[in-house]
Structure 1
Amino acid sequence: MHALPLSQSLAPDAALSHLTRKWDEDILDCLKRYIEVPAKSPMFERDWETLGFIDRVVTDAADWVRAQQIRGLQLEIVRLPGRTPVLFFEVAASGHASQQTVLVYGHLDKQPEFSGWRSDLAPWTPKYENGKLYGRGGADDGYAVYASVAAIQELQRQNVAHPRIVGLIETSEESGSVDLLPYIEALRPRIGDVALVVCLDSGAGNYDQLWLTTSLRGNITGTLKVEILTEGVHSGEASGLVPSSFRIMREVLDRLEDSRSGRLLPEIFHCAIPPERIAQARATAAILGNDSQTRFPWVHYDCGGTTQWALPTTQDPVEALLRRTWRPTLSVTGAEGLPPLDSAGNVLRPYTAFKLSIRTPPLVDVAACVAQMKRLLEDNAPYQARVTFEDVQGADGWNAPAMDDWFRSAVQQASQTYFGADCGYIGQGGTIPLMGLLSQGFPAAQMMVCGVLGPKSNAHGPNEFLHVPYAKRLTAAVAHVIASMPAGQA
Structure 2
Amino acid sequence: MTTPIFTESDLRAAIDRELPGVRADLERLVRIPGIAFDGFDHSHVERSAEAVAELLRDCSLDVRIVRSGGQPAVIGTRPAPPGAPTVLLYAHHDVQPVGDLALWESDPFEPVERNGRLYGRGAADDKAGIMAHVAALRAFGDALPVGVVLFIEGEEEYGSDSLEQLLSEHRDVLAADVMVIADSGNWDVGVPALTTSLRGLVNCFVEVRTGSHAVHSGMFGGAVPDALTALSRLIATLHDEAGDVAVAGLVSDGGTTVDYPEDRLRQEAGMVDGVSLIGTGRLTERIWLKPTMSVLGIDAPPTTGAPNALVPVAKAKLSMRLPAGQDPKRAYAALVEHLEKNAPWGARVTVTFEHDGNPISIDATGPMFDAARDAFRTAWDGVDPVDMGVGGSIPFIATFQEMFPDAAILVTGVEDPDSRAHGPNESLHLGEFARVCLAEALLLAKVAEAGAEPAR
**TM-score scaled by length of structure 1:** 0.85
Q: Does 1:31 align with 2:26?
A: yes
In structure 2, stretches of 5+ residues that fail to align are none
1:456/1:109 CA distance change after superposition, 3 Å: same
Q: Does 1:15 align with 2:11?
A: yes
What letter is aligned with 2:278?
A: T
Distance, in Å, in 2 between the alignment partners of 1:51 and 1:107 is 15
1:187/1:92 CA distance change after superposition, 3 Å: same
Distance, in Å, in 2 between the alignment partners of 1:20 and 1:58 is 27
Which residue number in structure 1 is paired with residue 198 of structure 2? 216
Which residue number in structure 1 is paired with residue 65 of structure 2? 77
What letter is aligned with 1:212?
A: L
Q: Does 1:328 align with 2:291?
A: yes
What letter is aligned with 2:436?
A: L
Contact in 2 for aligned 1:218/1:396 (Cα 8 Å): yes
Q: Does 1:293 align with 2:266?
A: yes
CA displacement at 1:468 relative to structure 2: 1.6
CA displacement at 1:289 relative to structure 2: 7.5
Q: Does 1:422 align with 2:405?
A: no
Which residue number in structure 2 is paired with residue 409 of structure 1? 370
Distance, in Å, in 2 between the alignment partners of 1:382 and 1:118 is 36
What letter is aligned with 1:181?
A: E
CA displacement at 1:376 relative to structure 2: 2.8
Which residue number in structure 2 is paired with residue 303 of structure 1? none
Which residue number in structure 1 is paired with residue 140 of structure 2? 155
Distance, in Å, in 2 between the alignment partners of 1:488 and 1:18 is 25
* 1:389-414 superposed Cα distances (whole Å, 9 cap, x missing partner): 2142000111112410x224312321
Q: How many aligned positions are there?
A: 451
Structure 2 matches for 1:299-310, cutoff 5 A? 299-300=272-273, 309-310=274-275
Which residue number in structure 2 is paired with residue 227 of structure 1? 209
Which residue number in structure 2 is paired with residue 252 of structure 1? 234
What letter is aligned with 1:410?
A: A
1:462/1:488 CA distance change after superposition, 3 Å: closer
Distance, in Å, in 1 between the alignment partners of 2:212 and 2:108 is 38
Contact in 2 for aligned 1:203/1:452 (Cα 8 Å): yes
Contact in 2 for aligned 1:3/1:484 (Cα 8 Å): no
What letter is aligned with 2:92?
A: H
2:249 to 265, 268, 289: 268
Which residue number in structure 2 is paired with residue 395 of structure 1? 357
Q: Does 1:66 align with 2:50?
A: no
What letter is aligned with 1:84?
A: Q
Contact in 2 for aligned 1:331/1:358 (Cα 8 Å): yes
Which residue number in structure 2 is paired with residue 94 of structure 1? 81
* 1:157-191 superposed Cα distances (whole Å, 9 cap, x missing partner): 5x3521x2211111221122222111111111221
In structure 1, stretches of 5+ residues that fail to align are 301-308
CA displacement at 1:373 relative to structure 2: 2.0
Distance, in Å, in 2 between the alignment partners of 1:216 and 1:423 is 17
Contact in 2 for aligned 1:262/1:330 (Cα 8 Å): no
1:344/1:105 CA distance change after superposition, 3 Å: same
Contact in 2 for aligned 1:115/1:461 (Cα 8 Å): no
Contact in 2 for aligned 1:292/1:321 (Cα 8 Å): no
Which residue number in structure 2 is paired with residue 126 of structure 1? 111
1:169 to 134, 144, 152: 152
**TM-score scaled by length of structure 2:** 0.91
1:290/1:362 CA distance change after superposition, 3 Å: farther
Name the SS of the counterpart of 1:269 in structure 2. coil
Contact in 2 for aligned 1:139/1:466 (Cα 8 Å): yes
Contact in 1 for aligned 2:195/2:387 (Cα 8 Å): yes
